[in-house]
Amino acid sequence: MRGQAGFWDIDERYARLSEAGDPLEKLSSVVPWEMFCKPLAKALKCSDGAKGGRPPYDTVMMFKILVLLIGPHGRVQFDC
């Protein structure tokens, strides 16, 4: 079936992206993201979840997204 992703297609796509020089891999090899875990948790107010609802997004993941949006020039880039 053309157009529909196969079972192993995602692995092949990741391999091609790695071969082409994935910027996310480069950034993760330089930045120790987990060092931001405690400062982000301290700075952000999260509910305790007692009332239910959706669990919050991972704070480090959201920080990575912000860093990627700002980019190397200090300006927000919307060409993603």
The per-residue pLDDT for 2 is: 62
Count of residues in the chain: 80
pLDDT digits (tens, 9 = 90+) for 15-49: 888 888 887 888 888 999 999 999 998 888 777 77
pTM over 0.95: no
How big, in percent rounded to 5, are the helix, strand and coil portions of the chain?
A: 55, 0, 45
- Note whether 59 and 41 are within 8 A (CB): yes
List all residues 6 or more positions away from 14 whose beta carbon is below 8 Å from its beta carbon. none
**Domain definitions of the chain by residue range:** 22-80
